[in-house]
Amino acid sequence: MNTDVITDIAQAEEGTSLWQDAWVRLRKNHLAVFGLVVLVTMIVIALLTPWIAPYAYDAQNLDLGASPPSAAHWLGTDVFGRDLLTQIMYGGRISLAVGFIATSVALLIGVTWGAIAGYVGGRTDAIMMRLVDILYALPFMIFIVLLMVVFGRNMVLLFLAIGAVEWLTMARIMRGQVQSLRQQEFVEAAVSLGLSPATIIRRHLVPNALGPIIVYTTLTIPSVMLLEAFLSFLGLGIQPPQTSWGLLISYGAETMEEYPWLLIYPGLTLTITLFSLNFLGDGLRDALDVRGSKD
Amino acid sequence: MALLEVKDLAVSFVTRNGVNKAVDGISFSVESGKITAIIGESGSGKSVACYSMLGLVPMPPGRIDGGSALFNRQDLLQMSESELRKIRGRDIAMIFQDPMTCLNPYMRIGEQMIEPLVYHRGVSKAEAMARAVELLGEVGIRDPETTVNNYPHEFSGGMRQRVMIAMALINEPKLLIADEPTTALDVTIQAQILQLIADLQKSRDIGVIFISHDLAVVADIADEICVMQTGTIVEKGDRAAIFDHAEHPYTQKLLAAIPSGGKEDTVEHDDTLVRVENLRTWFNAEGQIVKAVDDVSFDIRRGEVLGLVGESGSGKSTIGRSLLRLVPVTGGTVTFDDTDVTALEGRALKDMRRRMQMIFQDPFASLNPRMTVFDTLAEPLLLHGIENRKSVAQAVLKLMDDVGLVRSAVRKYPHEFSGGQRQRIAIGRALATRPEFVVADEPVSALDVTIQAQILELMQELGREYGLTMLFVSHDLAVVRHLADRIIVLYQGRIVEEGSGEQLFTTPREAYTQQLLSAIPGHSLGSTPAVS
């Protein structure tokens, strides 16, 4: 009894939260750790690009033209003599930003929307989810093309457009999670304590529903990046002289017979990033799976 | 020669936290025509012991470390999977706790029943079907010729367990392993199933291993009893030896934990705290109106413990939730200290919630797994402005003391506690706001028996200390009798009988109450279990 009597919370031994548990499991998954390391490296490079890039992103060397990889230009140059490595680094900033920002937009809207629909239920739920169904049914390409035509090609708009599409699935997942969680007694306990619905959603439902949402997020980022690549490929995305991986691949594809490196290196970068995200997503799914924790 | 002779069986599980010895060298035997009960709390290894003999423990992580299990002079532990498969379902059959998960919901029960017969014996389908019908009749299924073509969901829980038993018997096994076969059932159904197992075992002269956490359940039927604790058999003997001259302290503890007798200090209370009048709570289930609570009126007096007893579907939990406004009330009034609770909204409702709280059944579901004990206990205190950010720490530590948890565990998460400790946290949360009235909804039915006794004691203690008025909802008459001043018996949403604990138990007026009382397991124990 003596050693157990403490007088302040800070003296108590810290417990292991489920998040910490999941982290321990994730660390044992080599592929997921590899994915995480690659991603962090990519993000760090993207952030530091203006300082570490070998050339300025718009520096042309028309005399040189397209040249294969060399000591001066590690990944070669494009037809205007621009350094490909620099292009990929700057393109990565845009691609990663689109991936993460658009996904965050989707996350924010989807989680809020789904949590409210799932918790309130009844008619509110029906109306909210029918709206999601209707948006699902809209042809995505037409939606984007319309936006681009009306408002012009604009980065912010691109984020919003992609986010506005991706949140739908997020909302559905969240709603399903919340619906099953709200049957649990700890939610009933929260109601009987007198907590407001907003607090119950924020403190009790969202943290418990996050597992599948995080997994889905890591799988959404690659699909968003692919979308951007696809839109850029069609000429609806990023405008030169700004560039993105999708745009680089699109140019590379046009000239792949003469200058194959212009397609190979951007393509490789995108592929590695997407693989990393997928590895991480798979690892997270295993790590966050509650059934796995009962060993 | 015994039918099954288990010697020094040892099974362990290899986990990332090391090797866990689930079964640590146990020996017991089962005779034909006898029921051997294996009793133990969760984690004692009672199920693992039986499953490992039949090759039903996944390996890895499971591992058989040694021992032998001679069945008909053959060692089950040395058999290959294909040899075992021939024995399982033919010579040794099993029935499980939850019949619903063991029956394929998409197959008619007749089809499922004849599967082992056709598979193991090569009997023709028509012949097998006739056998299935015959057996369903034997286990007490009415009208077996037609019900044999029903799907599992068309049976009630008790009927499904009968179907499972018929299914287990279809191959004329010599040994039946029943793993908690009545735990998921209501008491009256439980009594019927226990009787059925005992009858079948006698008429067919088979050996039965009956696995249970509850000594009282096996008191009437077991011939031999093995008491298991943390992987070892601490005591075994025939029924009389265990119940009358238990030697091992753990067995004595188990016996003492069987709730018995009435409440010691029943007091007459006359000041009404909660008045329930014509309460109706109806649910709309797919267009059909389910009258979960139908025109129920009663009073709860200040300071008393009112027991609410009934089987599943009696509406007992719904009444508790209706009083606390956790489910929408269809009609009637609930007056709490002169305020009609059913009419409260917003701020007034929130203030009322501070005065009435709930303790839930399942401590694994009633705590938010992502919140530390501190967060869980501090939440109500801060929400109702009882404590401020500075003073809340001391209040939480005081609560920890009150419910018997060590203070140093305050920053741990629910999954780091055992079931009993979790229930203590949940009790602490309910009492944090110093409520006057608490609804306890089956607060101990998810717990092991010895833990159950501790939690009940804690609740009585805190009830006195906090001056609580309590509505104690339970399916377990013995527990309610032990705790309640007055008892209300419910059946299908209506009150059947109301009276003081002693009156109800000694001179029940209604036939349904009498039926419930006679179904309480452990009659051969008498009113007080013998503990030396």
Q: Which B-chain residues 426-455 have CB contacts (< 8 A) with chain A? A: 426, 429-430, 433
Q: Which amino acid is present at B35? A: I
CB contact under 8 A, B360 and A189: yes
Token pair listed for B16: 């990332």
* Phi/psi at B15 (5° precision): -120, 175
pLDDT confidence bin for A2, thresholds 50/70/90: very low
Q: Note the pLDDT of residue B376.
A: 92
Residues in chain B: 532
Q: Which amino acid is present at A109? A: I
User: Is residue A1 predicted with pLDDT exceeding 50?
Assistant: no
Q: Give the whole-number percent of chain A exceeding pLDDT 70.
A: 95
Q: CB distance from B467 to chain A under 8 Å?
A: no
Among A14, A192, A204, the residue with its CB nearest the CB of B324 is A192
Q: Could you check whether the bond before residue A241 is cis, i.e. omega within 30 degrees of 0? A: yes
Q: Note the pLDDT of residue A40.
A: 92
ipTM over 0.85: no
Q: CB distance from B61 to chain A under 8 Å?
A: yes
E strands, B158-271, are: 175-179, 207-212, 224-229, 232-238
Show which residues on chain A lie within 8 Å of chain B, measured between beta carbons.
3-9, 11-19, 184-186, 188-195, 203-204, 207-208, 293, 295
CB B235 within 8 A of CB B242: yes
CB contact under 8 A, B367 and A188: no
In the block, which residue shows the tokens 């890591």?
A218
Q: Could you check whether the bond before residue B61 is cis, i.e. omega within 30 degrees of 0? A: yes
Average pLDDT, chain A: 82
In the block, which residue shows the tokens 């309910």?
B430
User: Is residue A37 predicted with pLDDT exceeding 90?
Assistant: yes
- What is the chain A residue with the closest CA to B417? A15
CB contact under 8 A, A12 and B411: yes
- Residues B481-497: pLDDT tens digits? 888 889 999 988 889 89
Least confident residue range of A70-74, B10-14, B483-487 = A70-74
The terminus-to-terminus CA distance of chain A in angstroms comes to 31
Average pLDDT, chain B: 85
Q: Give the whole-number percent of chain B exceeding pLDDT 70.
A: 96
Find, among A240, A246, A242, A241, the residue nearest to A227 by Cα.
A246
CA distances from B365 to A64, A189, B137, B253 (A): 69, 10, 40, 28
- Residues A157-185: pLDDT tens digits? 777 778 878 889 899 999 999 998 888 88
Q: CB distance from B390 to chain A under 8 Å?
A: no
- Residues A80-114: pLDDT tens digits? 778 888 888 888 888 888 888 888 888 999 999 99
CB B260 within 8 A of CB B478: yes
- Residues B209-243: pLDDT tens digits? 999 888 888 888 888 899 998 888 888 888 888 88
CB B233 within 8 A of CB B27: yes
Per the model's pLDDT, the better-predicted residue between A126 and A294 turns out to be A126
User: Is residue A129 predicted with pLDDT exceeding 90?
Assistant: yes
Find, among A160, A156, A141, A147, the residue nearest to A94 by Cα.
A156
In the block, which residue shows the tokens 């696995």?
B211
Q: What is chain A's alpha carbon radius of gyration, rounded to the nearest angstrom?
A: 24
* Min Cα separation A233/chain B (Å): 44
- Residues B20-35: pLDDT tens digits? 888 888 888 888 888 9
Per the model's pLDDT, the better-predicted residue between B443 and A291 turns out to be B443
CB B485 within 8 A of CB B306: yes
CA distance A267 to A245: 8
CB B49 within 8 A of CB B97: no
Q: Give the whole-number percent of chain B exceeding pLDDT 90.
A: 10
* Min Cα separation B326/chain A (Å): 7
Q: CB distance from B386 to chain A under 8 Å?
A: no
- Which spans in chain A are helix H? 18-27, 30-52, 84-120, 122-137, 140-151, 155-181, 185-193, 197-199, 206-233, 245-254, 261-288, 290-293
CA distance A258 to A76: 13
CA distances from A158 to A148, A223, A248, B103, B277 (A): 8, 14, 18, 53, 61
Which chain B residues contact residue A120 at CB under 8 A? none
Which chain A residues contact residue B353 at CB under 8 A? 192-194
Domains of chain A by range and CATH?
Answer: 18-50+73-293 (1.10.3720.10)
- Strands B356-359 and B272-285 turn out to be unpaired
Q: Note the pLDDT of residue B439.
A: 93
State the count of interchain CB pairs (< 8 A) between A and B: 110
Among A11, A14, A189, the residue with its CB nearest the CB of B429 is A189
Find, among A42, A81, A78, the residue nearest to A247 by Cα.
A78
Domain with CATH 3.40.50.300 in chain B: 272-520
CB contact under 8 A, A9 and B410: yes
CB contact under 8 A, A295 and B16: yes
Q: Note the pLDDT of residue A141.
A: 76
User: Is residue B249 predicted with pLDDT exceeding 80?
Assistant: yes
Return the axis-axis angle of helices B157-169 and B187-204, rounded to nearest 10°: 10
Least confident residue range of A34-43, B166-175, B321-330 = B166-175
Per the model's pLDDT, the better-predicted residue between B425 and B96 turns out to be B425
How wide is the angle at C-alpha B279 spanned by C-alphas B276 and B285, nearest 5°? Answer: 150
CA distance A207 to A213: 10
* Phi/psi at B341 (5° precision): -65, -35
What residues contact residue B142 under an 8 Å CB cut-off, 6+ apart?
A: none
pLDDT confidence bin for B524, thresholds 50/70/90: low
CB B276 within 8 A of CB B262: no
Q: Note the pLDDT of residue B266.
A: 64
Q: CB distance from B317 to chain A under 8 Å?
A: no
Longest dimension (CA), chain B: 77
* Phi/psi at B36 (5° precision): -105, 120
CB A249 within 8 A of CB A88: no
Q: CB distance from B19 to chain A under 8 Å?
A: no
Mean pLDDT score, B290-315: 88
User: Is residue B532 predicted with pLDDT exceeding 50?
Assistant: no
CB A266 within 8 A of CB A82: no
Among B61, B384, B408, the residue with its CB nearest the CB of A4 is B408
Torsion of CA B201, B203, B204, B210, to 10 degrees: 0
What is the CATH code of the structural domain delimited by B272-520? 3.40.50.300
Mean pLDDT score, A117-132: 91
CB B509 within 8 A of CB B206: no
Instruction: Calculate the CA A100 to chain-centre distance.
Output: 4
User: Is residue B99 predicted with pLDDT exceeding 70?
Assistant: no
- Residues A257-276: pLDDT tens digits? 888 888 888 889 988 998 89
Which chain A residues contact residue B410 at CB under 8 A? 9, 12
CA distance B287 to B289: 7
- Residues A197-225: pLDDT tens digits? 899 998 899 888 888 888 888 888 888 88
